[in-house]
Amino acid sequence: MTNATTPPVQVRVLGAVAALVDGQPVALGGPVRRALLARLVAARGHPVSADRLVEDLWGGAPPAKPVAALQAHISHLRRVLGPGHDPLPRSAAGYALNLPVAAVDAWAFEDAVTRAVTAPHDRLRHLGQALERWRDPLPDIDRYPWAAIESDRLGELRRTAVEQYAETALELGAPVAPLIASLSDIVAADPGRERAVGLLARARYRADGPADALAVIRRSRQYLATELGLDPGPALRAAEHEILTGTAGPARDRAPIADHVRPAELGVLLDEAGRAARGETRLTWLAGEPGAGKTHLTTLLAGALEGDGWQVARGNCPEVDGAPPGWPWIEILDALAHTDPDGTATMTSRLAVPGTGLDTFGLARSLTRHLGRIAADRPLLLVFDDMHRADEPTLHLLRLTLAALRTRPLLAVATYRPTEAGSELAAVRAATNACPGRQLRLAPLTDDGIARLVRECGVVALAPEDMALLVARTDRNPLFVREFALLIADRGVRALHHDVPAGIADVLHYRIHTLPEATVAVLSAAAVLGREADLDVLAAMCGTDLESLLEPLEPALRARLLEEPAPERIRFTHNLVRETLYAGQSRLRRTRLHGAALAALSALRPAEVAATAHHAALAATPSTAHHAVAHLTAAARRADALGARADAVTLWGAAVSAHEMSTVVPEDGLLPLLTGYVGALAHTGDVVTARVVRQRAVDLARRIGDPPALAAALTSWSAPVTWTVRVDDEPDRRILDPVQSLLATTALGDHDRVLLLVTAVFELEGADSVAALAAARRAHALARGTAGAGLRCRALNALGFVAYGPDLVAQRRDIAAELLTVAGDAGDAAYQAQAHFQWFLAAAADTELDEARRHAELAVRYAAGRQLSQLLGVVELFRALVRLLAGDEDGAQRGYDTVAAQLEAEGTASARWIGTVGRISVATARDDFAPLVAELSALESARPHSVRFPLVLALLDSGEHERARQLWRAQRPFRRDYYWLAMTCLRARAAARLADTATARDCHAQLLPFSGRIAGLDSGSFHAGPVDAALAETAALLGDADSAHRFHDAAETLTATVSAQLHDPAWAAWR
């Protein structure tokens, strides 16, 4: 019998495949049944389709009735494994093994290894327990290719676990003899595995001395040089250096960690620091809600590392608007200024001085050199606080700089609030996955952590019932615990029971209003300035001098509501303190205080345009709003120049609101504000709002009767266009008509004419391909004759967009190459990203997959903000498409669905369409569209002709021939855009199956020039099969049997060639 903790059904694949029910072995049957069970274990609980199981079990020699045979084997396994419970449920996606993780030894092994990674304080025990489970997997069925792959995967996981165990044991000074045995086996099998070699050398050093340790490294060096032509990497060189210098002993004990409020999390961060110190740039994302203790934890980390000789710098993303773009980097550079004052001043000026644009890549290169020099001297910790509020320059510089540093001893820790993090931060987190590191989320405090924090606040002990009440009222949030504990220390434990309402704001309000009235007044003024404030600015706001200001500040410092991060600067200990003070003031009082802040900053910090704009907006009244417009416009232009697009949107929107509030500015002054707003919205990807604001600008310009202003309004969409920016199927005549009217005038200059033609292209594309192509060509020709690189970028973007369709196939690479050159000359990273994206599509269309992947990754490298999110989605769609071409249909669909879910979470209108594209692509690969009838019918009903051809094929596959013929009677050619080739192939297949000779002949003629391609690859996201497969079907209908055979063979050859390429190890790893 099993005990209470043992699952009633257990499956074992570590060693021979076996199963136990209630602790007793059961008869699984022959090798096919054991292989079937192991195949479902390898899927790790995900469903596997019947077709895939048949292929994996019998390969090219299935039984006469494979599905029936499979079902018989499934039924047997159900009987022996699941009396009263079905462990092998079937869904639409296939069969899955439905057991808890603990019931399957391979799953439990993998889970134990994974848990060990997130439990540094108990890692040795977790890893030891995991490794005790280990047996060589699947020895009795390793003739199956999939079994060999799964065995290799589990073997690699075991080798990694051994290395992690050894590394932890060495750090803790554990006995080394067991480590030497396990590491020696790994190194003997792979002498080039440098991590294992370095660990074995350290273990040998401690057991046998430096000679044996250096012999281990020498053998690895010889193997790397003779077999691979490589030198040892940084980690192995570091191990050799430690041995030669006698520093390869046990890491020093960090016993004080256990005394901290969060010992486990601090241990994780110190572990990351230890890895970084050995010569590897690492990044940890630290997530936690307000008050969870992110700042406290990183402060403890900084203190511990400074004690070890590290250099530390911190940058904060301000909780309120008004800081210059890239502010965290300015703070970090200031903190490190003593290392290179001149170099730091130069870099800081490129971020902080108004009136200059931001060369992000140039600054990233300078930052890389600067930080690299600092880290070469001593390890470096960079802390980025509140990255959920980070602007584009901050995020882009972080991504580029860490990618370039790589082998420097540097640890970056970036904190953020998960519930406030937007898609831009999510995109950067995804884009930095290549940088080694951790994702750490702060959990609520443990009982021990609460007790320690209470003692830190001066409360010696709490009775159990008082502690239980404290836990209930604070929900284990460290800030809330701290504030209640300080209140208890001041008022006694009765405060916990009677004095204060439950909310933290009420606790803070209570503590604040026990302070002297003069102190509360100064704190209220400081709250308007933000979480931090310079004392000279605060004194000017309060109409006093520095000496007189200090007296009212002292009580707040003693109460630990304020701290002093630097001379003559104060900081609220938590932003919730500032928020409580700010929210407690009337709107009238806040407006007056913002006015005082504006006056103080204008006098003392006139260069801080973002801060003055922030206060000008919040101090505005109808009679003063025109002043706010001027401040906000200057700050918005500055944000645009630095690429801080989200900030620019906020500032332009505030400028428009201030203009509307003003009673003294003329109406036409609104036009430049609206056009600036459109450009910023376009850059953030808010297509709908950008179109609404642009239409407002157009209507205003027409009402005023100002043709140049109308041209500026119509052409205000200044961002690169990756996908369509129309919201309806048909062009918007309210935009297109005035564009065409202005183009018909002779007084128009070439600059405006090019921009108007570009605007026309993006209204016409997909609806009138002929007119869109003509406008794009004309814009390109005119732009080439001008000196403006920015103008040429927009024209080339339009021409390249039209080239997504079938009309400029031969010119796609040339257009992309020209755009890349022009954008590089202009220093415009967004258009460089667009150029690489266009090149990616061109290469994919030609089935040059290595080239396509390279340019897709370069597009991601140059992108930032919303464009980065879009292009990461492009890469993931391409990854899903590659999986499909490699034969992994289930993995491909999961990839499409993941991207669709991400886009839907971001509110992208096309999210559902992406999932549908994936299902159409998979249906093409499986040659079965029947499961899509309902989904495609709904789409076709909502948007006629959008999915008519795959819907007709689905109806034919499901036996609804009459309905298919009814739909077919009203069919028409698909629009000539990025899906034209894929949809035309599906149209050709439908025509062939319906014996529509005329349509088949038309499709055949149109598809012939695309023979040798895979339809849909030119979109980077769609799969409609080889064009030759469609040509084979149309040729057969048209009576050309020889051509049909030739096309069929060509399609088979292309499919096999691409599949073989994608099973290369480099591609297999990327998939």
Nearest to 108 by CA among 130, 138, 125: 130
Give the residue-averaged pLDDT of 184-202. Answer: 87
d(CA 780, CA 321): 40
Asked which of 48-52, 460-464, 583-587, 1015-1019 is least confident by mean pLDDT, the reply is: 460-464
pLDDT digits (tens, 9 = 90+) for 55-90: 999 887 888 888 888 999 998 888 888 766 788 888
The answer to whether the beta carbons of residues 400 and 360 sit under 8 Å apart is yes
Q: What long-range pairs does 21-24 form, CB within 8 A, spacing at least 24?
A: 21/80, 21/81, 21/83
Which domains does the chain possess? 1-162 (1.10.10.10), 173-252 (1.25.40.10), 255-341+362-443 (3.40.50.300), 448-514 (no CATH), 613-714 (1.25.40.10), 720-862 (1.25.40.10), 863-1070 (no CATH)
Give the residue-averaged pLDDT of 380-384. Answer: 95
- For 930-979, the DSSP string reads GGGHHHHHHHHHHSTTSSHHHHHHHHHHTT-HHHHHHHHHT--PPPSSTT
Position 256 scores a pLDDT of 42
Position 255 scores a pLDDT of 34
Quote the percentage of the chain above a pLDDT of 70. Answer: 93
Residues 6+ apart with CB under 8 A from 465: none
Position 211 scores a pLDDT of 64
Give the residue-averaged pLDDT of 1013-1027. Answer: 94
Quote the percentage of the chain above a pLDDT of 90. Answer: 43
Go through the chain and tell me how many residues it has.
1071
Give the residue-averaged pLDDT of 628-647. Answer: 90
DSSP state letter for 502:
S
Give the residue-averaged pLDDT of 345-352. Answer: 66
Number of C-beta neighbours around residue 827 at 10 A: 15
Position 334 scores a pLDDT of 87
* Per-residue pLDDT band at 507 (split at 50, 70, 90): confident
Q: Are strands 380-385 and 410-416 parallel, antiparallel or unpaired?
A: parallel
- For 966-1033, the DSSP string reads HHHHT--PPPSSTTHHHHHHHHHHHHHHTT-HHHHHHHHHHHGGGTTSBTTGGGTS----BHHHHHHH
d(CA 886, CA 418): 36
DSSP, collapsed to helix, strand or coil, labels residue 383 as strand
Position 115 scores a pLDDT of 81
| Residue found under tokens 């460089």 | 832
The answer to whether the beta carbons of residues 948 and 991 sit under 8 Å apart is no
The model carries a pTM of 0.69
pLDDT digits (tens, 9 = 90+) for 149-187: 888 889 889 898 888 888 888 877 776 766 787 788 888
* Per-residue pLDDT band at 634 (split at 50, 70, 90): very high
- The answer on pLDDT for 660 being more than 70 is yes
- The answer on pLDDT for 908 being more than 70 is no
d(CA 599, CA 583): 22
- The answer on pLDDT for 448 being more than 80 is yes
d(CA 479, CA 585): 23
Give the residue-averaged pLDDT of 661-669. Answer: 85
- The answer on pLDDT for 821 being more than 80 is yes
- The answer on pLDDT for 254 being more than 80 is no
Position 356 scores a pLDDT of 46
pLDDT digits (tens, 9 = 90+) for 393-447: 899 899 999 988 888 899 999 999 888 888 788 888 888 888 899 999 988 888 8
Laid out side by side, the sheet with 380-385 consists of: 311-316, 380-385, 410-416, 282-287, 437-441
Residues 6+ apart with CB under 8 A from 303: none
Q: Give the Å distances, CA to CA, from 336 to 522, 570, 607, 937.
A: 31, 20, 23, 62
Q: How many CA atoms lie within 13 Å of 1's alpha carbon, on the beta-carbon side? A: 2
Give the residue-averaged pLDDT of 205-231. Answer: 78
Asked which of 266-280, 451-465, 494-508, 709-723 is least confident by mean pLDDT, the reply is: 494-508
d(CA 457, CA 479): 12
Position 901 scores a pLDDT of 84
β-sheet bridge partners, residue 211: none
More confident site: 500 or 555: 555
Give the residue-averaged pLDDT of 578-583. Answer: 87
Give the residue-averaged pLDDT of 211-223. Answer: 79
Position 84 scores a pLDDT of 67
d(CA 914, CA 873): 10
Q: What long-range pairs does 220-225 form, CB within 8 A, spacing at least 24?
A: 220/187, 220/191, 220/192, 220/194, 223/191, 223/192, 224/191, 224/192
Please give the mean pLDDT across all residues of the chain.
87
Position 2 scores a pLDDT of 45
Give the residue-averaged pLDDT of 895-913. Answer: 77
Taken in order 90, 93, 94, 95, is the CA torsion positive or negative? negative
The tokens for 219 are 């053998």
Nearest to 467 by CA among 493, 487, 440, 505: 493
* Per-residue pLDDT band at 96 (split at 50, 70, 90): very high
* Per-residue pLDDT band at 354 (split at 50, 70, 90): very low
d(CA 276, CA 282): 6
The tokens for 534 are 């310079």
DSSP state letter for 25:
E
Position 501 scores a pLDDT of 45
pLDDT digits (tens, 9 = 90+) for 670-681: 999 999 999 999
pLDDT digits (tens, 9 = 90+) for 615-624: 999 999 998 8
Position 918 scores a pLDDT of 93
Q: Are strands 90-91 and 24-25 parallel, antiparallel or unpaired?
A: unpaired
Position 1 scores a pLDDT of 40
Position 252 scores a pLDDT of 32
The answer to whether the beta carbons of residues 577 and 293 sit under 8 Å apart is no
Give the residue-averaged pLDDT of 1007-1023. Answer: 94
Number of C-beta neighbours around residue 848 at 10 A: 15
d(CA 523, CA 529): 10
The answer to whether the beta carbons of residues 950 and 1025 sit under 8 Å apart is no
Q: How many helices (H) and strands (E) does the chain have?
A: 51, 13
